Structure 1
Amino acid sequence: MIPALTTAQDGTGTGPEPAGGGRDELRDAREQGRICGVAVRGQRDLQASAAAHPELFPAEPFDAMLFANISLAIAFGAPWCTPQQLRVANRTVLWGFALDWLIDHRAQSQDEVDRLVGRCVSVAAGEPPAADDHLGAYLAALQDELATTPAFAAHRSLWQDSLGATVGAMAREWAWRAAWRSGDRAALPSLDAYLANADNLACTIVNVAHWIHTGDEATLARLDDLVAVSDEVQRALRLANDLGTYERDLRWGDLNALLLVDDRAEVEQRLAALVDDCRRMLVPLRSDCPREADYLARQIGFSSGFYQLADFWGMS
């Protein structure tokens, strides 16, 4: 099983099992209540952040449900963190959704996609955004906040690499989707190629931002190993997302793993294999980075439950 977490007496970390080793329902409920409280704080911050950038975050599809879903996912992944500690992760997710929306549903040409990608890469390299570049301005502010963390200077290249992988993967999927919409099914990727492009989910870049922002010395020393597991988790979440959002993807004209295979069972079996790989890869990290191992495991656990009933986008 994906390992469960327990909560310390102060509600911010792991703690011992109750006397006798039985389940403590009161403590479990207290932890879940605190997670929800952290998520509410995160939602309010995301709403305020989006309201300050109305050109980038129109009310539809950037509605209250999207903000709530983002903050819930981040809070459940790291229940030991404070709302302030999770602010960078939340805002990185929101930036990813804005990029996804602009590329998937607003860009009309490969040139437009390439310009979006180029602007993001330039901002990550330290160039100021153009006056009319709302996405770049939001990214620059996010990066400025991340740069206040002492670890950012030493790990800026990792942040830049993760950002480049994310925007590049979204651009690659745009080309695949454009070919599919035009009827060129032969241009669609194999399932393996699709999973190799899972950075378009923008999961690892969020994890990198979170670890740079909050990581202790042991976490920062194992960043390469953590990112390797995060990439595998990202592939698993890509499939969990696709299995849960297939009908919406059909309505929106989005690419989905189920369009690439003849049998849904193939995707389900691949997801199960990826989860097994993640469990195996997490084992050697537990001695040095137990919380970060739990963080990655909880991402899989949360998504496996969430997508049974809901979707991040509030729009149908």
Structure 2
Amino acid sequence: MRPVRTAFAGALLATFALAGCGQSDGTTAKATAPATASEPAGFPVTVKAENGDVTIAKKPERIVSLSPTATETLFAIGAGPQVVAVDDQSNYPAEAPKSSLSGFKPSVEAIVAQKPDLVVVAYDNDKIVAELGKLNVPVLWENAAVKIDDAYDQIADLGAATGTKAKAEEVVTGIKTEIDKLAQAAPKDKKLTYYHELDNTPYAATSSTFIGQIYGLFGLTNIADKAPDAAGGYPKLSAEFIAQADPDVIFLADVKCCQQSKDTLAKRPGWKALSAIKNDQVVQLDDDIASRWGPRIVDLAKTIGSAVSKASN
């Protein structure tokens, strides 16, 4: 699994700073055209994605998702029955029609063989957006979220694109409500510091990133913000830097990929005496949930909230 994680980490570092999304409610002439007997209400619709304004003529019936985040979102908003194939990294939900398709090394031929009327991607690897465009296949490029609002906006995008706008709005409202409730309930008086480990290289994520903003809601201070190359959002930290910062809580997002735990951390030079290790404040996250920006960010928020409460007692 390590090669996949390495590929993801590279894509993560390169794309989290480039996300941009938005949804149009159909203010163009095409988008506001009246529905016919063969066109469900709301179509044609124009959605603003990373690849510009994408007009979808009719409700998609054969969606191909090359983004694990988009896959989770599509099923959460009720568009699951419209999905005919997902990429090899889309492992949630269980009923998603997983295939050998790759979002990192996309094959135009393999994608087209699924006869899609909509393809959703998180990365434009091998210029797949333009290549599918040449074949008149509608593509939504929903890049990695930079802000929490980007995640909400992408859910809205997919809702508009698939004819499930109302359900998408319901999902967004539910996420916002739950995360706000969790954040407000978390104790913040101890001013806890934390370290979020992306992989055991180790790379971290600063407060300016999507993941860092979620931690920020819980009043946590990110040690990575003071790293020498923190400006890029995903600095590679030295073992010495982390040992000196001595975070109160350590969150590991490299459990599945790299089998990291409190015990493995304790074997790193100079780490055995870290407060988080001595006080049993090392939190093992689900790698997938911690690296995606879809509906399950609520689950991540719950884990963070529980960890903050435990560390504050």
Same fold (TM over 0.5): no
Q: Going by fraction, where is strand more abundant, 1 or 2?
A: 2
Please tell me whether Structure 1 or Structure 2 has the larger radius of gyration of its CA atoms: 2
In the superposition, the TM-score normalised over structure 2's length comes to: 0.24
Q: Going by fraction, where is helix more abundant, 1 or 2?
A: 1
Q: Which has the higher contact order (CA 8 A, sep 6+)?
A: 1
